[in-house]
Every structure is written in structure tokens, then in C-alpha cells.
């Protein structure tokens, strides 16, 4: 396209934005609000997912074995499932040592073997069973794997840290769904208001459009300024949303770091860059779609 043509199209669309003044402003504000809400939901979802996966990485299933169980067979049965990544044997002595460490039992013995012996004597026997430490491929499958493991003969008991992981995952899922619903509502509202501004512009421009049609402008040429007008509004809204969201997020992140150490928010420049890019893309798509819908309805093409 020629420079003159590009300049002409940009100028036409900019005139549309300016001419509609307050309504354009309302459209931009609406897009900004919609994107802030959507963005906040997305960020929350991303963080919940992130926390859940941190939890999940540590998440294992402990399968306690009966005394005379065939360890190799149970191990094979577990590993035979696709959801299981690893099933490591943990002897009762090893468990005993870990337990002792966890409760902070002070022992003068540095050698592990002797320590085990000492604790066993102290307790009058090792009450812990041998066990398998099972790691899932996907932490979502933990409850399913546990249920299956319980059915294997020779398995005494199955334990896992169900509460936290599952709750986080449920929360993340819920966020995704509510994000989708909010997204649809906000999206519809945004399309509507952009459509309205474009409709106003079409009305204000009806003489110009007629002249364009009479002197032989193609339909696309006539549409482009309107599409650009919508895109301008979408981009402006997205920029405002970014200006609000990113500093707010960075503030929240600092606050949580200082006060709630156990929560780790995602804070990589890469993720935030993708996020900002996504907002811009959303603004662009909404802007273009809003005006396209309005054009379809209100622009009488030849």
C-alpha cells in the first residue's frame, strides 16, 4: 500500500475516534475495565496453578506394605500403570530414621545402622512397615492412584497429603471456569460498546461513505478506517489495563513476599511479558470484532 493511502486510512480512523469523543472514551474505559478484571482472574489462576504444581512436585503417595507382602510384585503392579512415574522402595529402617529426625530425637550415634538399632531397642521393636514411595506423572491423578493401590493384595495402607494439593487444584479449576464466564460477559459488553461507537461513526460518516462508494472505493477500503477505529480503542484499553495491572501485581507480589512467605507468586519477566502481550492481543481482537459486527449490521455496501 502507498504511504499516502496508509496516511489517509489512519487519519480517517483517528478522526472517527476524536469525533465520537466521550463515547470513544467510554469504549476505551470499558475495554480497560474488562481487561483488568480478566487479567486479574488470569493472574490468580496462573498463581494457583503454580502453587498447586509446587505442592504437587513434592506430593507423593506412601504405600505401606504388609509384613509378608511381595514387594517386587506390588512395585511392578504400580509401575504398570501409566499414571505412575516412580515407585521407590523405602525400608522400615529408613522410615524409622526419618521419623526420628522429624520428631527431633537426639542420638549420640552418628552411624545410621547403629542409630536404627538404638531406636529399635528404645522402642522395643520397629513399629513402622516397609513402604513404597510413589510419584505420579500428574499430581491430579493422586487420588485415583491411591484408590487403585489400596486394592492391591499385600498393601496395608495408603497415605498422601490430600488436602492441600486437591484444594489448590479445585481452586485453579474454579478460577478457570469463572474466568471464562466473566470473559464471556465482559467480552459481550465490550463488543456491544465498540459496536455502538462504530455505529455512530458510520452514521456521522454516511455522506462520506456514499461519496466513497460513488467514486469507486472498494468495500474493504471503506471498512478499514472503521476497523482501525475499533482497533485503536481496543489497544488503548489494553494499554490502560496493563498500566493498572502490572504495577498492582508487582506491589502485591512484594507484599506477599514480606508477609506470607509460604506463598510464592509467579514473577518472571517472561510470564508477565506474555501476559501483557495477551492483553494487547485481546484488546486488538475485541476492537476489530466489535467494529466488524457493527459494519456487518449498519454499513450498507454496494
Q: Least CB distance from residue 292 to other proteins, whole Å?
A: 17
Question: Please, which residue, 186 or 228, has the CB nearer to other proteins?
Answer: 228
Return the C-alpha cell found at 16.
472517527
- Quick one: which of 98, 167, 210, 297 contacts other proteins (CB under 8 A)? 210
Question: Please, which residue, 22 or 302, has the CB nearer to other proteins?
Answer: 302
Nearest CA-CA partner of 184 in 280, 296, 286, 277: 286
Q: From CA 12, how far away is CA 43, in angstroms rounded?
A: 37
Contact 278, 35 (CB under 8 A): no
Q: How many CB atoms are closer than 10 A to CB 88?
A: 11
Phi, psi of 133, deg, nearest 5? -100, 110
Site for other proteins in 212-271 (CB under 8 A): 212-219, 221-222
* Length of the chain counted residue by residue: 302
Q: Least CB distance from residue 38 to other proteins, whole Å?
A: 37
Q: Least CB distance from residue 9 to other proteins, whole Å?
A: 9
Of the candidate spans 73-81, 206-214, 232-240, 278-286, the one that interacts with other proteins by CB under 8 A turns out to be 206-214
Q: Does residue 55 interact with other proteins by CB under 8 A?
A: no
Instruction: Number of residues interacting with other proteins: please give it, by CB under 8 A.
Output: 22
- Quick one: which of 102, 151, 207, 258 contacts other proteins (CB under 8 A)? 207
Q: Least CB distance from residue 26 to other proteins, whole Å?
A: 24
Question: Please, which residue, 200 or 235, has the CB nearer to other proteins?
Answer: 200
Contact 73, 149 (CB under 8 A): no
What is the per-residue DSSP string for 219-244? HHHHHHHHHHHHHHHHHHHHHHHHHH
Contact 159, 132 (CB under 8 A): no
Question: Please, which residue, 99 or 298, has the CB nearer to other proteins?
Answer: 298
Contacts with other proteins, residue ranges (CB under 8 A): 1-5, 8, 207-208, 210-219, 221-222, 301-302
Amino acid at each position: 500500500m502507498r504511504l499516502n493511502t496508509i496516511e489517509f486510512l489512519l487519519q480517517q480512523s483517528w478522526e472517527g475516534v476524536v469525533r465520537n469523543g466521550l463515547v470513544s472514551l467510554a469504549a476505551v474505559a470499558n475495554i480497560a475495565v474488562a481487561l483488568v478484571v480478566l487479567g486479574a482472574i488470569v493472574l490468580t489462576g496462573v498463581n494457583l496453578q503454580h502453587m498447586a504444581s509446587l505442592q504437587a512436585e513434592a506430593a507423593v503417595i506412601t504405600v505401606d506394605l504388609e509384613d509378608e507382602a511381595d514387594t517386587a510384585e506390588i512395585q511392578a503392579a504400580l509401575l504398570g500403570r501409566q499414571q505412575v512415574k516412580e515407585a521407590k522402595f523405602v525400608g522400615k529402617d529408613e522410615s524409622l530414621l526419618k521419623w526420628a529426625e522429624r520428631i527431633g530425637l537426639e542420638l549420640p550415634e552418628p552411624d545410621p545402622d547403629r542409630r536404627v538399632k538404638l531406636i529399635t531397642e528404645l522402642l522395643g521393636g520397629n513399629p513402622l512397615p516397609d513402604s513404597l514411595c510413589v510419584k505420579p506423572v500428574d499430581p491430579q491423578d493422586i487420588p485415583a492412584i491411591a484408590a487403585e493401590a489400596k486394592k492391591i493384595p499385600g498393601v496395608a495402607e495408603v497415605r498422601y497429603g490430600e488436602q492441600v494439593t486437591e484444594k489448590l487444584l479445585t481452586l485453579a479449576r474454579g478460577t478457570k471456569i469463572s474466568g471464562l464466564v466473566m470473559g464471556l460477559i465482559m467480552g459481550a459488553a465490550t463488543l456491544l460498546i465498540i459496536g455502538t461507537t462504530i455505529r455512530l461513526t458510520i452514521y456521522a460518516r454516511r455522506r462520506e461513505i456514499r461519496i466513497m462508494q460513488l467514486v469507486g472505493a472498494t468495500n474493504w477500503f471503506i471498512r478499514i478506517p472503521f476497523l482501525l477505529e475499533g482497533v485503536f480503542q481496543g489497544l488503548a484499553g489494553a494499554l490502560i489495563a496493563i498500566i493498572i495491572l502490572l504495577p498492582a501485581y508487582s506491589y502485591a507480589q512484594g507484599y506477599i513476599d514480606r508477609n506470607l512467605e509460604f506463598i510464592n507468586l509467579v514473577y518472571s519477566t517472561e510470564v508477565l511479558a506474555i501476559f501483557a502481550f495477551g492483553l494487547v492481543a485481546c484488546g486488538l481482537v475485541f476492537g476489530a470484532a466489535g467494529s466488524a459486527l457493527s459494519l456487518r449490521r449498519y454499513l450498507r455496501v454496494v
